[in-house]
Amino acid sequence: MKIKLKTLSALLSASLVLSACGSTPAASASVNVSTGEGVQTNQAEAQPEEDVKNMDKAKEIMAGIEPEETCPVSLTIMKTDVDYGEIIKTTYYSTTCERDRNVNIVLPAGYFEDKKYPVMYILHGIFGDENSMLGDGSSGARVIIGNMVKEGTAKEMILVFPNMYASKDPNQAPAFDPESVKPYDDFVDDLVTDLMPFMEENYSVAAGKKNTAVLGFSMGGRETLNIAFAHPDLIGYACAIAPAPGLVPGKDWAMEHPGTYTEDEICFPDEIMPYVLIDCAGDKDGTVGSFPKSYHELMEKNGVPHVWYEIPGSDHGDPAISSGIYNFTKYVFTCLLSPVTVIWSPVNSNLISLIIFFTVFGLSFSSFLIDCNSNFFSYSVSSMTFTVSTTSDFLEVLHLLLFGDLIIKIYSNPYAFALLEKS
In the chain, the amino acid numbered 104 is: N
**How far is 134 from 84, CA to CA, in rounded Å?**
11
Tell me the per-residue pLDDT of 100-148, one tens digit each, with 9 for 90 and over: 999 999 999 989 888 899 999 999 999 999 999 987 555 589 999 999 9
- The pLDDT tens digits of the residues spanning 257-278 come to 999 999 999 999 888 999 999 9
Give the residue with greater pLDDT, 178 vs 275: 275
Q: Average pLDDT, stretch 321-337?
A: 88
| Residues 259/297, Cβ–Cβ less than 8 Å | no
Measured distance CA(162)–CA(260) in Å, rounded: 21
Based on the fold, state whether residues 45 and 64 are members of the same structural domain.
yes
- Residues 46 and 127 grouped into a single domain: yes
C-alpha–C-alpha distance, residues 374 and 380, integer Å:
7
168 domain-assigned: yes
**Strands, DSSP E only, in 28-85?**
31-34
At 398 the pLDDT is 56
Final residue before a domain boundary, out of 299, 331, 363:
331
- Answer yes or no: do 301 and 354 share one domain: no
177 occurs within a structural domain: yes
The pairing of beta strand 276-282 with beta strand 86-94: unpaired
Residue 255 has pLDDT above 50, yes or no: yes
Residues 320 and 377 grouped into a single domain: no
Residue type, 222: R
SS3 of 264-307? HHCCCHHHCCCCEEEEEEECCCCCCCCHHHHHHHHHHHCCCCEE
Asked if residue 363 is part of any domain, the answer here is yes
Task: Give the pLDDT of residue 52.
Answer: 62
- CA-to-CA separations, 227 to 113, 115, 133, 211, in angstroms, rounded: 28, 27, 18, 15
Tell me what pLDDT residue 366 has: 38
Helix (H) or strand (E) holding 250: strand 250-251
**Claim to verify: residue 53 and residue 98 sit in the same structural domain:** yes
Side chain identity at 342, as an amino acid letter?
Answer: V
173 and 66: one domain? yes
Specify whether 46 is located in the same domain as 170: yes
pLDDT, position 381: 23
Residue 244 has pLDDT above 60, yes or no: yes
Cis peptide before 319 (omega within 30 of 0): yes
388 belongs to a structural domain: yes
Taking the C-alpha atoms of residue 232 and residue 58, their distance in angstroms, rounded to an integer, is: 12
Same domain, yes or no, for 310 and 398?
no
- Please give the torsion angle defined by the CA atoms of residues 209, 210, 216 and 219, in that order, rounded to the nearest 10 degrees: 20
Decide if 22 is inside a domain. Answer: no
Same domain, yes or no, for 147 and 199?
yes
Q: Report which of 296, 111, 145, 157 is spatially closest to residue 221, judged by C-alpha positions.
A: 296
For the residues 186-192, what does the mean pLDDT come to? 96
Q: How many domains does the chain have?
A: 2
Q: Residue 2: inside a domain, yes or no?
A: no
Among 300, 331, 362, residue at a domain's last position: 331
Domain enclosing residue 395, as ranges: 340-410
Burial of 174 (0-12, 13-18, 19+ CB in 10 A): middle
In the listed set 313, 331, 349, which residue is the last one of a domain according to the structure? 331
**Helices 320-331, 141-151: crossing angle, 10 deg rounding:** 40
- In this prediction, residues 320-328 reach a mean pLDDT of 96
Instruction: For residues 404 and 3, give the distance between their C-alpha atoms in angstroms, rounded to a whole number.
Output: 5
**Do 90 and 214 lie in a common domain?**
yes
| Range scoring the smallest mean pLDDT among 155-164, 199-208, 373-382 | 373-382
Tell me if 11 is assigned to some domain: no
CATH code of the domain in which 294 resides = 3.40.50.1820
- Is residue 250 domain-shared with residue 344, that is, in the same domain? no
In degrees and rounded to multiples of 5, residue 126 shows phi and psi of -60, 140
Q: What is each CA distance from 380 to 5, 26, 257, in whole angstroms?
A: 19, 22, 57
User: Residues 221, 244: contact at Cβ < 8 Å?
Assistant: yes
- Mean pLDDT calculated for residue range 151-164: 92
pTM reported for the whole predicted model: 0.73
| Same domain for 391 and 278 | no
> What is the C-alpha separation between 184 and 170, in angstroms, rounded?
14
Is it the case that residue 386 has pLDDT exceeding 90?
no
- Do residues 24 and 66 make contact, with C-beta atoms less than 8 angstroms apart? yes
φ, ψ for residue 177 (rounded to 5)? -155, 155
Cα–Cα dist 294/206, whole Å:
34
Q: Is residue 204 domain-resident?
A: yes
